[in-house]
Amino acid sequence: MEKWFWLPDWASDLSLWEDDLISANPEAEHVFVSYGDMVSCLDGMYGLKGLSEATTVVAWGLGALALLKDAKNKPCGQKWILLSPYADFCDEESNWTDQTLTFMARQVRNAAEPTLNAFMEFLENEFGEWQDEWFSAALKMDKNALGDGLNYLVRNKIDSKIEDNGETKVLFGRMNQAVLPSLTLGLKEFLPNAEFKERPKAGHWPPMLML
């Protein structure tokens, strides 16, 4: 049986869309990694229990960046599906700067709501009615884990070609305001063998990207 692992974006819970997402392969076993568990392995994603045995890894945003940073440990033949990935979240074309995220990483440890609201502004015009569910789930997450995720985005960038020993597909939404399409397309020079596919009516939400 195929085994799919799902890695979330910052402050996100992919199990919110479990019923929709498993339809990508109903016959497979699906493991939705919690945000907290993922953050504990950001500096070595393949240290996450079971990830090396997965036949397919679907990684979204922050999860995709952490997976790419540990590409040297990708098992031969493992398939990656990257949702709204990027080489540098704080690229000059981004809505975010290193300084802003560093400040927010400090702020979120004491008061999560203002930081989450800042991100939600870029999700308000998305197709799909998931903003409130995302926000409610994020508010329940460990504040230190939220801060650690933001600090990771500041410190880590893709700046060299990634040797890929398995199929990689990159999906991104034309309507995405949280991660602009230009940021995802900036990965092409580092993932020359990957298939990039734009979803014209999708934004940042995984169900719109996957289905």
Q: What is the pLDDT of residues 23-44, one digit of tens each?
A: 999 999 999 999 999 999 999 9
How many Å apart are CA 196 and CA 206, to the nearest integer? 16
Structure token digits, residue 77 = 């033949």
**Domain 3-210: which CATH class?**
alpha beta
Task: Say which range, 59-63, 66-70, 113-117, 146-150, has the weakest mean pLDDT.
Answer: 113-117
Break the chain into its structural domains and give their ranges.
Answer: 3-210
The pTM of the full predicted model, rounded to 2 decimals, is 0.96
pLDDT in tens, 87-138: 999 999 898 899 999 999 999 999 999 999 988 888 877 756 788 899 999 9
**What DSSP assignment string belongs to 95-121?**
S--HHHHHHHHHHHTT-HHHHHHHHHT
Half-sphere exposure of 82 (CA within 13 A, CB side): 29
Please tell me what DSSP assigns to residue 52. G
Task: Say which range, 57-71, 73-87, 124-138, has the weakest mean pLDDT.
Answer: 124-138
Task: Say which range, 24-38, 68-82, 112-126, 196-210, has the weakest mean pLDDT.
Answer: 112-126
| Mean pLDDT of the chain, nearest integer | 94
